[in-house]
């Protein structure tokens, strides 16, 4: 039953974003308008999820300095990955136009797949903590993924990829979220991994994406449009905070070995 819950929530964002992309394949003007206001909303959900749900769960029972170092590592890791992808793209800048378009298309697909896979790891790790953390994480990921996937649809169409292939590529890329979410959840139960570093890295990733890619775009907009986007960002924050507060956050059961160890330590302390 737990695996089905992970499967359901990991699929939600992918399915909705794909449906949105399909509906907007022939509506370029509407697509741009939706993305304009959906991106800051997604940024708000990512930031709120990082600070209200993900980091607090990661800090439970751990040294704050260690967890914050993992979060910093996640932030820097995704900065480095983005720089690497950017370098690879500019390295082909002087190629012929057709080849450059193909390289850019591959990078879009690769970047989106990697992004989705990381989202899945974050969702799976959150569900290992408790269902409430998993649901909060899934909602934040879905809110962020919807405008991103719609944007990817537009980019690939602009590069000359057929509508059929755009749909197939995005479907395969979206499946990465489900696969890594289930894989992380099953592996976590099999070997009883500590999910706190994974959650901290995911928080660093969320903060980086929102702070570096999405929020600066708001400041570059005209005042009226930027104000509307700012309100959308705040709306994303409020929704995630409300969801996090509404859901119960009881931690899942510890692995049997851990319980036995704690019982043994307690018995020795009583005996002494």
pLDDT tens digits for 117-151?
Answer: 888 998 999 999 888 888 888 888 888 777 777 76
- Listed in sequence order, the residues at least 6 apart from 43 whose beta carbon sits closer than 8 Å to its beta carbon are 144, 209, 210, 214, 215, 233, 236
64/55 Cα distance (integer angstroms): 10
- Listed in sequence order, the residues at least 6 apart from 151 whose beta carbon sits closer than 8 Å to its beta carbon are 35
The pLDDT of residue 31: 67
In tens, the pLDDT along 16-59 reads 777 766 766 666 666 677 777 777 888 888 888 889 988 998 99
194/201 Cα distance (integer angstroms): 13
Q: Which string of DSSP letters, residue by residue, matches 92-124?
A: TTTS-HHHHHHHHHHHHHHHHHHHHHHHHHHHH
The domain spans of the chain are 2-271
Between the CA of residue 82 and those of 72, 85, 96, 231, what are the distances in Å?
16, 5, 24, 28
Stretch 82-91: mean pLDDT = 60
Supply φ then ψ for residue 268, to 5 degrees. -65, -40
233/146 Cα distance (integer angstroms): 15
The pLDDT of residue 259: 44
79 and 212 Cβ atoms separated by less than 8 Å? yes
80-94 exposure pattern, b = at least 16 Cβ within 10 A, e = fewer: ebeeeeeeebeeeee
- Which pTM was predicted? 0.70
The pLDDT of residue 200: 92
The Cβ-side half-sphere exposure at 184, using a 13 Å CA radius, reads: 29
Q: How confident is the model at residue 267 (pLDDT cuts 50, 70, 90)?
A: very low
| Helices 28-48 and 131-158: angle between axes, nearest 10 degrees | 150
Q: How many CB atoms lie within 10 A of CB 59?
A: 17
In tens, the pLDDT along 218-260 reads 777 788 888 888 898 899 899 989 888 887 665 544 444 444 4
Q: How many CB atoms lie within 10 A of CB 161?
A: 20
Beta strands of the chain (E only): which ranges? none
DSSP 220: T
């Amino acid at each position: 039953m737990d695996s089905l819950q992970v499967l359901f929530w990991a699929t939600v964002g992918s399915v909705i974003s794909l449906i949105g992309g399909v509906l907007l394949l022939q509506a370029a003007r509407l697509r741009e308008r939706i993305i304009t206001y959906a991106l800051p909303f997604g940024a708000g959900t990512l930031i709120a999820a990082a600070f209200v749900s993900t980091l607090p769960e990661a800090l439970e029972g751990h040294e704050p300095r260690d967890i914050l170092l993992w979060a910093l590592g996640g932030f820097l890791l995704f900065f480095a990955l983005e720089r690497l992808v950017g370098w690879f793209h500019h390295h082909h800048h002087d190629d012929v136009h057709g080849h450059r378009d193909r390289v850019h298309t591959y990078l879009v697909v690769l970047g989106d797949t990697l992004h989705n896979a990381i989202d899945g790891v974050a969702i799976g790790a959150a569900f290992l903590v408790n269902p409430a953390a998993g649901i909060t994480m899934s909602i934040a990921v879905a809110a962020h993924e919807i405008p991103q996937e719609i944007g990817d649809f537009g980019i690939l169409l602009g590069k000359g990829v057929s509508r059929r292939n755009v749909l197939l590529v995005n479907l395969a890329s979206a499946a990465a979220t489900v696969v890594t979410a289930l894989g992380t959840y099953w592996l976590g139960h099999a070997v009883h991994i500590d999910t706190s570093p994974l959650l901290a890295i995911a928080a660093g990733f969320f903060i980086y994406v929102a702070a570096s890619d999405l929020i600066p775009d708001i400041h570059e907009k005209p005042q009226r449009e930027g104000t509307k986007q700012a309100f959308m960002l705040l709306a994303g924050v409020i929704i995630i905070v409300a969801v996090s507060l509404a859901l119960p956050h009881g931690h899942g059961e510890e692995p049997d070995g851990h319980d036995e160890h704690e019982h043994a330590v307690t018995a020795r302390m009583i005996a002494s």
